[in-house]
């Protein structure tokens, strides 16, 4: 089993901006603790661990899939760029859950798309499975937090 440099770079670019949470003011409200949300939280954690591990160990080089690499780079740039804007503006943590047009929780959707497209780019089926678990967990949890943000004073 080999290590994928491209996978490490993608995983780092998605993971490291989350450290900026420490710099954002404010607190996030707790969403209601329903069974479905607890299941989603478990799937989210499994998906996060799976995406990081599978990206690092992705088998392919992706050299023949340059269009996918460009699309991954574009989505990573959007994701990291949004983090930079929020931090430099001193935005509240709640703004992480603000919609962009028709996308209700873009900061949850973008990492899922990045990992799913990285799976295609690097020919990594386990990364595709992990990104599916991440989607089933991260998006519902983020939607619940977004709803709690809108209803909290």
Report in angstroms the alpha-carbon separations of 63 from 10, 85, 140: 15, 32, 34
Q: Which ranges constitute the DSSP H helices of the chain?
A: 5-15, 35-56, 66-89, 106-121, 125-151
pLDDT at 61: 63
pLDDT at 64: 67
Name the band, by pLDDT with cuts 50, 70 and 90, for residue 1: low
Report in angstroms the alpha-carbon separations of 43 from 21, 27, 103, 130: 22, 23, 21, 9
**Is the pLDDT score of 120 beyond 70?**
yes
**Per mean pLDDT, which range of 54-63, 123-132, 140-149 is the poorest?**
54-63
Task: Give the CA diameter of the chain.
Answer: 51
- In sequence order, the β-bridge partners of residue 100 are 103
**Is the pLDDT score of 49 beyond 70?**
yes
**Is the pLDDT score of 11 beyond 90?**
yes
**Is the pLDDT score of 153 beyond 80?**
no
pLDDT tens digit sequence for 65-111: 789 999 999 999 999 999 999 988 888 899 999 999 999 999 999 99
């Amino acid at each position: 089993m080999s290590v994928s440099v491209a996978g490490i770079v993608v995983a780092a670019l998605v993971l490291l901006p989350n450290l900026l949470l420490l710099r954002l003011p404010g607190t996030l409200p707790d969403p209601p603790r329903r069974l479905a949300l607890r299941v989603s939280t478990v799937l989210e954690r499994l998906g996060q661990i799976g995406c990081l591990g599978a990206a690092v160990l992705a088998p392919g080089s992706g050299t023949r899939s340059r269009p996918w690499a460009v699309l991954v780079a574009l989505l990573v740039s959007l994701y990291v760029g949004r983090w930079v804007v929020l931090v430099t503006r001193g935005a509240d943590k709640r703004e992480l859950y603000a919609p962009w047009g028709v996308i209700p929780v873009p900061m949850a959707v973008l990492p899922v798309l990045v990992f799913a497209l990285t799976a295609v780019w690097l020919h990594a089926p386990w990364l595709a499975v992990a990104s599916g678990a991440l989607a089933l967990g991260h998006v519902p949890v983020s939607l619940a937090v977004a709803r709690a943000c809108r209803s909290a004073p």
